[in-house]
Structure 1
Amino acid sequence: MKTVTPWTPPLATVELVAAGNVWDAVRIPARYGPGVISRLGAATGAVIEDAHAAHLYWLVHPGTADTWNLSPQRVSVLGETAYVAVPPPGEVKPAYRLRWAVPLTPTSYLTNAPALLTALTAEIETVSGSWGGDPAYCALLDHTATCPACNAHERCERGDELRAAERAARTQHHVVPLFRGDPITPEDLGGEEPLRWQFRQDTCTWCQSGAEELVAVGLFHSVSGPGWIIYACPPCFRRQNLLPLDQHPAGAWGGLLHSDGSPAGPPPPVS
């Protein structure tokens, strides 16, 4: 049985903490979080919620999740060379958008990696039965995450096959497109209106690809809700010549800016 090294998070403000020393972090999309927490029950350790990026982080013993073979679109194991933004315990400023979804104590903050893997695998399989985790959609995201041609928006035979399968699945489920340029219309559905699909914070706003590394480039303000962060994949980020959100001038309202600071215009509409 591994010895738990006493550890406490930063006490006053959010700090970047190196992984791979006292713990590794397992990052998963927020859509799986509630189910995983429920499956683990009392066996879960502390959990960090990042509301900006829509991810949750579990802390595990260093090296115990290195051999996991899960899609990088769904799960990332952060060890040596990685840093994690860690909030202080207790209530934090709302502007941080980081909090401990499951609180920690100095010696009971880690989750058993095999137990986490079992709960996470079961939750992914459960979600795969709904449109949010449709196998055709996930297969396309997995492919575009590692395909140089798709990430450069070049022709890819395998990508075309997966997009066709993903479109067929969307037609079957009567949902609007996640990939622009290939819309589903009422005519496709025998006159029925397609269902609306929730805006995804883990895809590029321009091409809807699921690149593993997305760049926050702006804020979308909503009069009837909290709004959301606008993300770009690296190819679209370069093609649109955008300025990262964390480099916007102080007091900027979050509109898209070119790298020289000039206005870049609105993002493409969300279907």
Structure 2
Amino acid sequence: MPSPRTRTISSWHNEEAGRTGDAVRVPRSIGLDAVAILGSRSGAVLEDPLAASLYWFIPQGASAEWDVPNTRALEQGAHLFIPPVRRTKGPGSHWRICPGEGAWVTEPAALRAALLDAFGPALAMEEAE
């Protein structure tokens, strides 16, 4: 998901959602289960301990169709502070799953299914209605 970026401290950069891809914010408690469910199907995952959230990157434009309750698709204009590629521990934002060569993006359908599984039967039943 490389793009023009604003440099910040220590190789961090400020990335605008929607410029080269979209992002989805998920509560950490559910996101950790979704990471396990997705396994190798997951792209990069950013963890922000201050917001108690995980962020997945999805293809550009996919956020327009995003409809998973209790999650938020970041629209163009929202910003994420992206840490250096191999920063895997805090303090502050770090990678739960580091981005690889071209492996930033998670397929939206797989992420949606993993999140619905992680939220459990009550939400899955609600979605089926």
TM over 0.5: yes
Percent of aligned pairs sharing the same letter = 27
- Asked whether 1:75 is paired with 2:71, we answer yes
Q: CA deviation at 1:43?
A: 0.3
Q: Secondary structure at the match of 2:32?
A: helix
Give the match for residue 38 of structure 2. 40
For the 8 Å contact 1:30–1:56, the answer to whether it is kept is yes
For the 8 Å contact 1:45–1:110, the answer to whether it is kept is yes
For the 8 Å contact 1:63–1:79, the answer to whether it is kept is no
Q: Residues 7 and 120 (structure 1 numbering): CA distance in 2 closer, same or farther, change over 3 Å?
A: same
Any runs of at least 4 consecutive aligned residues in structure 1 with deviations exceeding 2 A, and if so which? 6-15, 68-71, 91-95
Give the match for residue 90 of structure 1. 86
**Alignment counterpart, residue 20 of structure 2, candidates 16, 19, 22:** 22
Q: 1:1-271 residue pairs with structure 2 within 5 A?
A: 7=2, 12-71=10-69, 74-91=70-87, 94-95=90-91, 97-126=92-121
Q: Deviations over 1:107-151 (max 9, x none)?
A: 11110011101111111125x59xxxxx9xxxxxxxxxxxxxxxx
Mapped to 2, the partners of 1:21 and 1:118 lie a distance apart of 25
For the 8 Å contact 1:62–1:79, the answer to whether it is kept is no
Larger Rg: 1
For the 8 Å contact 2:47–2:55, the answer to whether it is kept is yes
Mapped to 2, the partners of 1:93 and 1:123 lie a distance apart of 24
- Which has more strand, going by share of residues? 2
RCO higher in structure (CA 8 A, sep ≥6)? 2
Unpaired segments of 5 or more residues in structure 1? 1-5, 130-134, 136-271
Q: Residues 47 and 76 (structure 1 numbering): CA distance in 2 closer, same or farther, change over 3 Å?
A: same
Q: Please, what TM-score do these two structures have when normalized by structure 2?
A: 0.80
Unpaired segments of 5 or more residues in structure 2? none
Q: How many residues align?
A: 121
Q: Secondary structure at the match of 2:120?
A: helix
Letter in 2 for 1:19: A
